[in-house]
Each structure stands twice: as structure tokens, then as C-alpha cells.
């Protein structure tokens, strides 16, 4: 997520480089949740290869020093990416385990997902800082998952999942061209009252409140999810054609959003 440098989340938007689900082979919903990862300042390791290859990641000493500050810092630098969001979630998990050492990995995952903030900006635009290309995003479960990491809420929650907290699988009806979630609460999450779709993913990012649909068990159609349903990425994911291809482009280490 892109925080825009503010302490509140009302202006936060999904970053242009954030990967969307579902997964290619088994159609698992991803991500599980989202966290801040754009222009994150952290410690700089001595003789860091990234800093040498991408000097734009180095920070000026004047950013955090007021007396005699000059040149670039040898202690801190800035990076953007999902790899920067991951340690934020890891830290949240560590806080949960510190508070409740008996929590299992499934219970940590479930609690973080259930307490994630669901009320996000429904639509947003991310602008790549390198090529200025813009990317339109919709805050659905394939973009934000269960929502935006909320550490205070997670630490005050005492709900315990009793079964494996598996991420759900998305299925597509080739006749209606609608997508839905394949769920079985007898083998995952546990009590459907505590861990149902609305509880974990929230109505805003899951149900018809976010998209035009007549049935809450249906997510959306091809055109809403993918734009042009003939796009090559759609063909690769769902096997509509044998010739569909999708190019993959690696972003540079100093890539971020404006």
C-alpha cells in the first residue's frame, strides 16, 4: 500500500506494483491482506549492493539531522515493494505471538485477516515513478484480500480459529461467466459465524456492495474483474485459448509510486 506520507489511512491506495490474484495454477485468492510498502525508510547494511546499484535509494543526512548535515546517509535508505510490506506483517505477527505465545500460525493468520480494515477506497490509481504509467485498481479480494493490516485491532481481538486458515479458491462458471468462492467451513476457519466471508473479507471487498451483482455468493463477471475478457492474461489464467501469452517484466529495485 501507498501511505502518501500521512499517519491516517483515508488517503492510502494500492501500489501499482502490488501483485493481484488469483494464483495462476490453482486459482487461490491472493493476497491475504495488504500493508504499507511504498517508500519505506529502513536500515542500510554496510556495503549494500542495492544502494550501490541504485543510488537514488540513498537518503540525504539532512532528512533526519539538523546540525552540520550534508551528503548521503550511510545508515538509512528507502525502498518500495511488497518485500517492504512483508516485514510490517511479520512484525504484527511477532506482536501477536508475544502477547499470546500459544497462538498457532493458522490462528495468527486468521486474526490478522479478520481484523484487517475493510473500509478502503473502492477505486484508486497508482502512478509508477519511473515511467509515469498509471494503473487502475479496485479494492476487491484479488487486490486487497481481507483488507488493510490493522495492528491495534489485531492485538485487541481474542477470537480463535479452530481449523486450518486456508486461503479460499476462486471458481469460474463458464456459462454465466461469473466468479465465486469455493468454501467449506467444515474443513477450514472453523465456526462460520465467526469466520464467514463477511467476517474475514468484509462486505465492502467481497459482496455486491463493491460490485454490481445480484447474488452475494457471486463476485463479479469477466468484464469487471479483468476489463477486456479477451486479454491475454485472462486466457493464460483460465485456459480459454491455447495461444494466450502474458509478458512478465521485472521492476527495478528503486521502483516506486509517485
The pLDDT of residue 236 is above 80: no
Q: Three-state SS for 255? A: coil
pLDDT tens track for 23-76: 888 888 889 999 999 999 999 998 889 888 988 899 998 888 888 778 888 889
DSSP codes joined into one string, 169-214: EEEEETTTTEEEEE--TTTSSS-HHHHSHHHHH-HHHHSTTTS--S
* pLDDT for 224 beyond 70: no
- The verdict on whether omega for the bond into residue 22 sits within 30 degrees of 0, i.e. cis, is yes
The answer for residues whose C-beta is within 8 angstroms of residue 233's C-beta and 6 or more apart is: 226, 244, 246
Element (H, E) at 124: strand 123-127
- pLDDT value of position 107: 94
Note the pLDDT tens digit of each residue in 87-134. 999 999 999 999 999 999 999 999 999 999 988 888 888 777 777 888
Helix (H) or strand (E) holding 234: helix 232-238
* Residues 200, 136: Cα–Cα separation, whole Å: 25
> Which of the residue ranges 111-115, 215-219, 243-247 would you say has the lowest mean pLDDT?
243-247
Q: What is the pLDDT of residue 93?
A: 98
Q: What is the pLDDT of residue 218?
A: 41
Residue of 207 and 149 predicted with greater confidence: 149
Closest CA to 145 of 21, 9, 2: 21
| CB 14, CB 38: distance < 8 Å | no
Mean pLDDT for the chain overall? 77
Cell representation of residue 72: 548521503
Can you list the alpha helix ranges (DSSP code H) found in 29-180? 49-53, 82-99, 105-115, 151-156
Please tell me the predicted confidence (pLDDT) of residue 255: 57
Paired strand residues for 60: 72
- What is the model's pLDDT at position 50? 87
- Mean pLDDT (whole number) for 130-155: 86
pLDDT at position 1 is 92
Taking residues 213-236, report their average pLDDT: 44
* CA-based R_g, the chain, Å: 20
What is the share, in percent, of the chain residues with pLDDT greater than 90?
28
User: Quick check: 174 pLDDT over 60?
Assistant: yes
Band of pLDDT at residue 169, cut at 50, 70 and 90: confident
Task: Choose between 103 and 234: higher pLDDT.
Answer: 103
What's the pLDDT at 250?
A: 37
pLDDT score of 18 more than 90? no
pLDDT higher at 157 or 22:
157
Report how far apart, in Å, the C-alpha atoms of 129 and of each of 58, 63, 197, 229, 258 are: 16, 20, 36, 28, 5
Amino acid at each position: 500500500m501507498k501511505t502518501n506520507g500521512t499517519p491516517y489511512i483515508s488517503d492510502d491506495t494500492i501500489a501499482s506494483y502490488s501483485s493481484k490474484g488469483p494464483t495462476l495454477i490453482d486459482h487461490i485468492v491472493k493476497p491475504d491482506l495488504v500493508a504499507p510498502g511504498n517508500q519505506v525508510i529502513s536500515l542500510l547494511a554496510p556495503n549494500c549492493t542495492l544502494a550501490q546499484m541504485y543510488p537514488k535509494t540513498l537518503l540525504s543526512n539532512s532528512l533526519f539531522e539538523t546540525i552540520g548535515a550534508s551528503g548521503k546517509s550511510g545508515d538509512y535508505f528507502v525502498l518500495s515493494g511488497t518485500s517492504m510490506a512483508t516485514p510490517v506483517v511479520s512484525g504484527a505477527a511477532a506482536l501477536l505471538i508475544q502477547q499470546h505465545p500459544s497462538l498457532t500460525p493458522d490462528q495468527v493468520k486468521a486474526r490478522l485477516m479478520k481484523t484487517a480494515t475493510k473500509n478502503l477506497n473502492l477505486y484508486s490509481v497508482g502512478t509508477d515513478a519511473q515511467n509515469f504509467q498509471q494503473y487502475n485498481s479496485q479494492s476487491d479480494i484479488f487486490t486487497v484480500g481481507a483488507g488493510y493490516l490493522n495492528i491495534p485491532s489485531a492485538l485487541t481481538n481474542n477470537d480463535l480459529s479452530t481449523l486450518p486458515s486456508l486461503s479460499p479458491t476462486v471458481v469460474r462458471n463458464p456459462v454465466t461467466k461469473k466468479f465465486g468462492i469455493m468454501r467449506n467451513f467444515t474443513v477450514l476457519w472453523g465456526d462460520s459465524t465467526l469466520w464467514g466471508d463477511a467476517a474475514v473479507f468484509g462486505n465492502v471487498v467481497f459482496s455486491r456492495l463493491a460490485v454490481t451483482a445480484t447474488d452475494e455468493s457471486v463476485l463479479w463477471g469477466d468484464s469487471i474483474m479483468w476489463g477486456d475478457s479477451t486479454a491475454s492474461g485472462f486466457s493464460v489464467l483460465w485456459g480459454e485459448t491455447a495461444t494466450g501469452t502474458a509478458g512478465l517484466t521485472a521492476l527495478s529495485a528503486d521502483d516506486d509510486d509517485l
